Chains A and B, each alone.
Chain A
Amino acid sequence: MIPQKVDYKRAGSVAEALSLLSANPDAKILAGGHSLIPAMKLRLNSPSLLIDIARISELRFIHEQDGGVKIGAASTHHDIVSNATIRELYPAMAEAGELIGDTQVRNVGTIGGSIAHADPSADWPAVLLALGATINVEGPAGAHDIPASEFFTGFFSTALEEGEIVTAITLPAPSAAHQSAYKKFMQPASRFAIVGCAVAIVADGGTITDAKVAFTGVSDAAFLDEAVAAALIGQPAIPETIEAAANAAAEGDIHINEDHFASQAYRKHLAKVYAKRALVEACGL
Chain B
Amino acid sequence: MSTITVTVNGKSYTKEVEGRTLLVHFLRDTLGLTGTHVGCDTSSCGACTIHLDGRAVKSCSMLAAQADGSILTTIEGLAPGGELHPLQVAFNDEHGLQCGFCTPGMIMTAADLLSQNPNPTEREIREGLEGNICRCTGYHNIVRAIQLAAERTAGVPA
Contacts and interface: CB of A to CB of B under 8 A. Distances in A.
A7 interface: yes
A6 B19 contact: yes
Contact of A8 (B19, B44, B61, B113): B19
Interface residues of A, number: 31
Given A2-B20, A103-B109, A108-B57, A52 B65 contact: yes
A107 B42 CA distance: 17
Contacts of A30: 63, 66
A81 interface: no
A40 B18 CA distance: 14
B131 A108 contact: no
Contact of B57 (A6, A40, A104): A104
B19 A52 contact: no
A84 interface: no
B130 A191 contact: yes
Contacts of A4: 20
B49 interface: yes
A187 to B, nearest CB: 11
B113 A103 contact: yes
Contact of B62 (A7, A78, A101, A108): A108
A105 interface: yes
Contacts of A191: 130
A3 B18 CA distance: 11
Contacts of B128: 103
A33 B41 contact: no
Interface in B46-75: 46, 49, 52, 55-58, 61-63, 65-66, 68-69
B107 to A, nearest CB: 13
Interface in B22-37: 22, 25
Most buried by A among B52, B57, B69, B132: B57
A43 B123 CA distance: 37
Nearest to B46: A104
A190 B131 CA distance: 10
Contact of A5 (B20, B42, B61): B20
Interface string B118-132: 000000000010111
B112 A33 contact: no
A104 B20 contact: no
Contacts of A33: 61-63, 66
17 contacts: A6-B20, A8-B65, A30-B63, A37-B63, A38-B42, A40-B20, A41-B41, A50-B19, A50-B63, A52-B65, A55-B69, A78-B55, A102-B130, A102-B131, A107-B52, A107-B56, A107-B57
